Amino acid sequence: MNTDEIALRKQAIQLWLSGENKTRIANRLHRSRLWVIRWTTRYDPDDPEGSVQNRHSAPQHPHRSWPESTRQMVLQSRKARQEGQEPGYRYALIGAEAIHYELRELGIVPTPPVRTIHSWLKQADLVRKGKGETKAKQPVKPYPAPKGQKINALHELDMKGPFYLTGSPQKYYLVALRDARSKRVALSAVQNMHMDTIIDFLTAAWSKLGLPKILQMDNGLEFRGSNRYPRSLGKLLQVCLDLGVEPLFIPPHEPWRNGIIENLNGLVERIFLERQNFRDYAHLQACVAEVENSINTTHRLTALEGKTPAEYVQSATFRLPPKNYTWRKRNLQLVKSKVSFIRLVRKSGRITLCANDKFEIGTDYQWQYVLATADHLAHRLDVFFQGKLIKSFEYR
């Protein structure tokens, strides 16, 4: 490197530190003003010598030449995952992250990074094409989403269906529960959408996953209860409150607010419902149990630091339902506590909790989301906007 050039850069910094104008420095040293700006900007008082040196443009890590055998393993793994015929790949994820973790577990060292695997898949035309241009994003409104950073802080519940077995008119449904943090799932195939059926599923699932702080769901009557008596507590809500779980309903017609369970529904559709034919109800139930076990014990996720859901919760402790809990023998009429709703304030300034049960919030909050919490013990409805209490109503 030219020592005269380094000396010139140091002189420019000295003049600048003494208060000299950058344009005058440029004229004095016969350099451009941009040259002065570059070196005064790069100057680091903690590293005065190093900061005036040239920076190397070459990558710090030279391009690695990967063995062709490793690339072929990636492509074969992707194809096996997409086809889902081999037992080990029947319910496997297909993304580059999943293949990366597979190679790591197989002891391929060094393991190709995710971006390299994705590049190989793209070159082989094994990456699904995007949906093209999307509409311009609207400004994001504050949304009172519950916090799910801890295991069992938040469970999401949903039902999928109906679907049918070959040659049968009987409707079947898939009921699904998922923990927002650990991504553990509970799945069951059921023959109806009765509330009792869902409660039986929930209590059995919670005996394995543990009880959540909040159960989030949509506004289906199979979850909520009666439109005729919109302020009454349906049996499912009573069981939740009996077990110390707060029910939370997302805004109507916004299923994406249950994003974790919606993502699971899409996964189950692809790896399970689209691929298999079921002989009878017993076969369907057995296959659903296989899918649940596969997701919990074999799906390695980046969000879980490359662990499976089961591995992620190995050292965790859970709050479980009471031993031999039987909800049908409980006096649920005595249970009173809080049920919450996330609602969009309409142009009129009102929100609708259920059916035709409306509350005036004020036009200052139109088109904003609020959290409304009904306390059935205190007979009060509290409405919060961005965590601040803005309205309270009598709620009998």
Task: Convert the pLDDT of each residue in 181-208 to its tens digit.
Answer: 999 999 999 999 999 999 999 999 999 9
- With respect to residue 63, please indicate whether it lies within any of the assigned structural domains: no
**Whole-number Å distance between alpha carbons of 15 and 311:** 61
pLDDT at 130 over 70: no
Digit-coded pLDDT (tens) for 275-296: 777 888 998 899 899 999 999 9
Encode 32-84 in three state secondary structure: CHHHHHHHHHHCCCCCCCHHHCCCCCCCCCCCCCCCHHHHHHHHHHHHHHHHC
Burial of 18 (0-12, 13-18, 19+ CB in 10 A): exposed
pLDDT at 133 over 70: no
Mean pLDDT of 140-162: 91
Q: Give the dihedral sign, CA 80/83/84/87.
A: negative
Q: pLDDT > 90: what percent of the chain?
A: 57
What is the model's pLDDT at position 1? 54
- DSSP assignment, residue 89? G
What is the model's pLDDT at position 137? 56
Mean pLDDT of 365-371: 96
- With respect to residue 60, please indicate whether it lies within any of the assigned structural domains: no
- Regarding whether 292 and 185 lie in a shared domain, the answer is yes
- CB burial of 140-161 (b: ≥16 within 10 Å; e: otherwise) equals eeeebbbebeebbebbbbbbbe
> Residue 102: which of 91, 111, 69 has the closest Cα?
111
The CA–CA distances, whole Å, from 146 to 28, 150, 153, 246, 342 equal 62, 11, 9, 11, 10
- Regarding whether 363 and 218 lie in a shared domain, the answer is no
- With respect to residue 28, please indicate whether it lies within any of the assigned structural domains: yes
Mean pLDDT of 50-54: 82
- Regarding whether 359 and 240 lie in a shared domain, the answer is no
Mean pLDDT of 333-359: 92
pLDDT at 337 over 90: no
The whole domain housing 198 covers 154-312
Domain count, the chain: 4
- Regarding whether 261 and 212 lie in a shared domain, the answer is yes
- DSSP assignment, residue 274? T
Query: With left for phi above 0 and alpha for psi between -120 and 50, is residue 294 left, alpha or beta?
Result: alpha
What is the model's pLDDT at position 63? 61
What is the model's pLDDT at position 83? 86
What is the model's pLDDT at position 243? 96
Q: Write out the two tokens for 336.
A: 């009173």
Mean pLDDT of 127-148: 71
Q: Give the dihedral sign, CA 191/194/200/205.
A: positive
Parallel, antiparallel or unpaired: strands 214-217 and 350-352: unpaired
Burial of 30 (0-12, 13-18, 19+ CB in 10 A): exposed
- Regarding whether 262 and 180 lie in a shared domain, the answer is yes
pLDDT at 127 over 90: no
- With respect to residue 62, please indicate whether it lies within any of the assigned structural domains: no
The CA–CA distances, whole Å, from 315 to 204, 239, 285, 296 equal 22, 28, 30, 15
- Regarding whether 292 and 188 lie in a shared domain, the answer is yes
Phi, psi of 247 (to 5 degrees): -75, 140
Instruction: Please say whether the beta carbons of 185 and 294 come within 8 A.
Output: no
- Regarding whether 238 and 109 lie in a shared domain, the answer is no
- Regarding whether 260 and 215 lie in a shared domain, the answer is yes
- DSSP assignment, residue 304? G
What is the model's pLDDT at position 184? 97
- Regarding whether 356 and 238 lie in a shared domain, the answer is no
At position 235, the amino acid (one-letter code) is K
What is the model's pLDDT at position 19? 82
- DSSP assignment, residue 301? B
**For the chain, what is the mean pLDDT?**
89
What is the model's pLDDT at position 46? 72
> Residue 103: which of 72, 131, 127, 128 has the closest Cα?
72
- Regarding whether 107 and 208 lie in a shared domain, the answer is no
- With respect to residue 59, please indicate whether it lies within any of the assigned structural domains: no
Tell me which of 352 and 109 has the higher pLDDT: 352
- Regarding whether 78 and 35 lie in a shared domain, the answer is no
Q: What's the longest Cα–Cα distance across the chain?
A: 93
Question: pTM surpassing 0.75?
Answer: yes
- With respect to residue 327, please indicate whether it lies within any of the assigned structural domains: no
- With respect to residue 322, please indicate whether it lies within any of the assigned structural domains: no
- Regarding whether 176 and 290 lie in a shared domain, the answer is yes
Instruction: Please say whether the beta carbons of 40 and 24 come within 8 A.
Output: no
- With respect to residue 178, please indicate whether it lies within any of the assigned structural domains: yes
What is the model's pLDDT at position 50? 79
